[in-house]
Amino acid sequence: MKIKILIPVYNDWQSVFKLLENINSKVSTLSHEFSVIIVNDASSESRQKLSINLDNLKLIKIINMKDNRGHARCNAVGLKYIFENEEFDYVIPMDGDGEDRPEEIKQLVENLNYYPDKPIVGERIKRSEGIFFRFCYFTHKLITSLFTGQSIKYGNYTCLPKLTVEKMINEKATWSSFSGALAKVSKDRATIPSERGERYFGPSKMSFKNLLIHSLSIIGVFKINVLIRAILFLLIYFFLIHQNITLITLIPVLLVFILLLSVIIVSKRENLEEFNNSLKNISNIDDLK
């Protein structure tokens, strides 16, 4: 099998090169052809020369983008590029900082023996972030489940068969949210337990603002569900409080309206035309191997 590992990067070359070294080590016992496609999101920092031996990787390409588009859109561009230009059977997207652990590639690939035609996702069973991040992540999962009916416990770290990749690149939501789009196009998914690793170098680049946009982007994929559930919630809630309407009892109503407005605004990031033209943003491609 030909497996492409897709890694977006922005100003984190030290981590990416360490990740390449670890991937090379972990796939050495697997009898498949592994290649790496790195999407450079217009990094402003220059990268060091590749000086490590990566014999277990068939090829390594760096797709250099002209303009910065963000992590989700780098994944989208990478999927589109691979589907249109590479021979492959599966794609494994993963973060380039070490938080998606290379040790789990073996488990993803071994599960293809049982689920060759299903996307396999790494469901988080343990996280390495601080208390505040974990609280925000729990809140995100709760709101997502309540207002969309979707239980999305995975991120980018997945193993996608070619048919799923084709569905992803024809879905406008992929341009905004990888995990939301995958939940939309593929209801039937296999899972493996996945632990969130620690960054190789430096602090996390996920700010609270980016975390909020990430969460709303996932929810926005299912905005029709959100609208229907919000209306039902408001009808039931007003029925329960109609004899006791005060400023305090109206706070949940205000929060629901804020959520609806935020979801509508963020969902405008979905744009199939931009997605279809995204490969025009490629400046050049470097072959490292």
Domain check: are 249 and 275 in the same one? Answer: no
Domain check: are 254 and 277 in the same one? Answer: no
- CA gap 51, 72 in Å, rounded: 29
In a domain, 209, yes or no: no
In a domain, 214, yes or no: no
Domain check: are 254 and 200 in the same one? Answer: no
Domain check: are 36 and 175 in the same one? Answer: yes
What count of residues does the chain have? 289
Domain check: are 56 and 84 in the same one? Answer: yes
In a domain, 107, yes or no: yes
In a domain, 75, yes or no: yes
- CA gap 25, 108 in Å, rounded: 16
In a domain, 215, yes or no: no
In a domain, 217, yes or no: no
Beta bridge partner(s), residue 3: 34, 90
**pLDDT, position 49:** 82
| Domain interval for residue 256 | 223-262
Domain check: are 22 and 121 in the same one? Answer: yes
Would you list the DSSP string of 2-35? EEEEEEEESS-HHHHHHHHHHHHHHTTT--SEEE
**pLDDT, position 145:** 87
b/e map 190-226, b = 16+ CB within 10 Å? bbbebebbebbeeeeeeeeeeeebbbbbbbbbbbeeb
Domain check: are 28 and 171 in the same one? Answer: yes
* CATH, residue 31: 3.90.550.10
**pTM of model > 0.85:** yes
In a domain, 179, yes or no: yes
Where the chain has pLDDT below 50, the residues are: none
- CA gap 124, 122 in Å, rounded: 6
60, 203, 182, 230 alpha-carbon torsion, rounded to 10°:
-160
Contact present, 57 and 36 (Cβ < 8 Å)? yes
In a domain, 211, yes or no: no
Q: Token pair 């990888």 is at which residue?
A: 178
Domain check: are 238 and 155 in the same one? Answer: no
If one counts the domains in the chain, the total is: 2
Q: Quote the distance between the C-alpha of residue 276 and its chain's center.
A: 19
* C-alpha to C-alpha distances, 154 to 47, 178, 210, 270, nearest whole angstrom: 30, 10, 17, 20
Domain check: are 151 and 24 in the same one? Answer: yes
Domain check: are 41 and 163 in the same one? Answer: yes
**pLDDT, position 224:** 93
Domain check: are 60 and 161 in the same one? Answer: yes
**pLDDT, position 124:** 80
Domain check: are 141 and 237 in the same one? Answer: no
CB atoms within 10 A of CB 251: 10
3-class SS string, 235-267: HHHHHHHCCCCCCCCCHHHHHHHHHHHHHHHHH
